[in-house]
Copies of this chain bind each other. A is one copy, B any other.
């Protein structure tokens, strides 16, 4: 053998071993069940994983394979887990959406999720069946850059802040209210939680003059005791922030500390410094903070409600400068959050989030198909619903992925949902006829094409009401080409779309009475949910289904199709 060949073989060998060393398969064994817990110092029942609430954090490197052996220990409820932000390339059956990507995992049935985390970023996971996310079924999923790779920014340490909202009423009862006629709304949460910990009916900062709440008396070892962020002076920290709220839009601020936003939904963004940041349900961010303030004291981290008139006091924890003790309360009052209905402030923040061009793919300049999705609150037989182009989504009992892959008839509405809504629809007023219909139809998208979605907001059932909806797409990131006011106009708005450095994300908000334009490429064979990430809104039908290249999907495990019309297609129900 000649010397060059040996060198060549050696190089190949090195590559193979490096890759084998770098990419790991990480196994997790999870028991999911209810337990008694006091997230905000009031005892309640939460959905826990291995006795933990929130569930255990999964930490991996880009390129790793995650294997979660799930054991449903609920008594009568099915279960699935969605890995929010993970695109599930080649594993669409592992997306964890009940009735879409898989059959629900029934009590005592085994199920194994196996998927690759292909891209570094801040992600999370959560239940995606009924309102089980609201019941507490969530946790963090952090993907570091691959071995040898570097982040495009420096930090000395990091913290993980998983944000949620919490009700004392059980989700079962919430679901009954939402499905009742007369309709019963779930109302505002009793508390907002930072890493599953909050303060109900009291404030950690009540001793400041502007607070009307009573002071919380929380023992350090209580389940609701806030976790302080312990920092050294003059360092840079990365805060990984994700919102899995059921309902609330949030604003996060840290007393005396600016935040530099560097990541959104697992993609780098052009660094931007802000005093406080908005975060909507389904979004994640990384921000950098520099501990350049007086180390003689601690500072507040404050989490407040936006976009809905808040009945819920801000959730607080402490930025704890060494060598102060964490229990030392800050001398300065908590940061003042922007007014809940200051949408100018919200839009300003959202518009600042732009792609880091050097690290982000650019959108195709043209689209192949543009779908207009009108978001309206409607009525079906007197029941209150949310509808998209006048169809309120109901999921079929046989999951789409299996029934579409195998061309089974009768599994869902064969008719494609409408591509657009009437030109005459006045988005600024309640609908003249608020009645809509149920539907389970699918937008079948041609494989490897560019799709535009114009999300169009409108007035809800009541006059002068239009709500925020954060829309989340499964299986893809999309480019957010722009946000606008009123009805989207091809004539006037098309030219304003940002094709230069649009943020690349998996969740984007529509503001009241506004529109949001998204673009994505159908390069991921599967069936994917696209929906409002507000749990009760999705429960009331606010979502659509996309399918692309389903004939290319391979190796769906038996357990994902072992129900309904696809049960007969299983071989051994092996995993």
Contact = CB atoms under 8 A, between A and B. Distances in A.
Given A129-B76, A170-B172, A558 B563 contact: no
Contacts of A286: none
Contact of A176 (B34, B132, B573): B34
A111 to B, nearest CB: 10
A368 interface: no
A526 B179 CA distance: 39
Contact of A34 (B33, B172, B184): B172
B180 A36 contact: yes
Nearest to A396: B108
A404 interface: no
Nearest to A440: B108
B179 A33 contact: yes
Interface string A549-569: 000000000100011110110
Given A35-B176, A77-B76, A78-B76, A564 B170 contact: no
A154 interface: no
Contacts of A109: 397, 563-564
A162 interface: no
Max chain B Cβ within 10 angstroms of own Cβ: one of A104, A570, A571: A570
Given A108-B395, A108-B397, A180-B35, A175 B75 contact: yes
Nearest to A76: B130
A573 B402 CA distance: 14
Interface string A10-40: 0000000000000000000000011110000
A261 to B, nearest CB: 36
A572 interface: yes
Interface string A166-199: 0000101101110110001000000000000000
A563 B567 CA distance: 7
Interface string A92-117: 00000001000010111110000000
A45 interface: yes
Contacts of A170: 170, 172-173
A371 interface: no
A554 to B, nearest CB: 19
A176 B77 CA distance: 13
A570 B568 contact: yes
A215 interface: no
B108 A106 contact: no
Given A45-B173, A108-B397, A172-B45, A570 B573 contact: no
A273 interface: no
Contacts of A570: 567-568
Interface in A383-421: 394-397
B564 A568 contact: no
Contact of A78 (B36, B78, B131, B176): B78
A45 B75 contact: no
Contacts of A567: 558, 562-563, 567-568, 570, 573
A175 B170 CA distance: 14
Interface string A195-219: 0000000000000000000000000
Max chain B Cβ within 10 angstroms of own Cβ: one of A36, A99, A172: A172
Contacts of A177: 36
Contacts of A99: 108
Contact of A106 (B75, B104, B565): B104
Contacts of A184: 36
Contact of A175 (B34, B397, B568): B34
Contact of A572 (B175, B180, B568): B568
A562 B563 CA distance: 6
10 contacts: A35-B176, A45-B173, A76-B104, A76-B129, A78-B78, A99-B108, A104-B106, A108-B394, A563-B567, A564-B573
Given A35-B180, A109-B563, 14 more contacts: A34-B172, A34-B176, A45-B173, A45-B176, A75-B130, A75-B172, A75-B539, A76-B78, A76-B132, A106-B106, A108-B397, A110-B397, A170-B170, A558-B568
Q: Which 8 A-B pairs have the closest CB atoms?
A: A76-B130, A567-B567, A562-B567, A75-B130, A108-B397, A109-B397, A568-B570, A76-B77
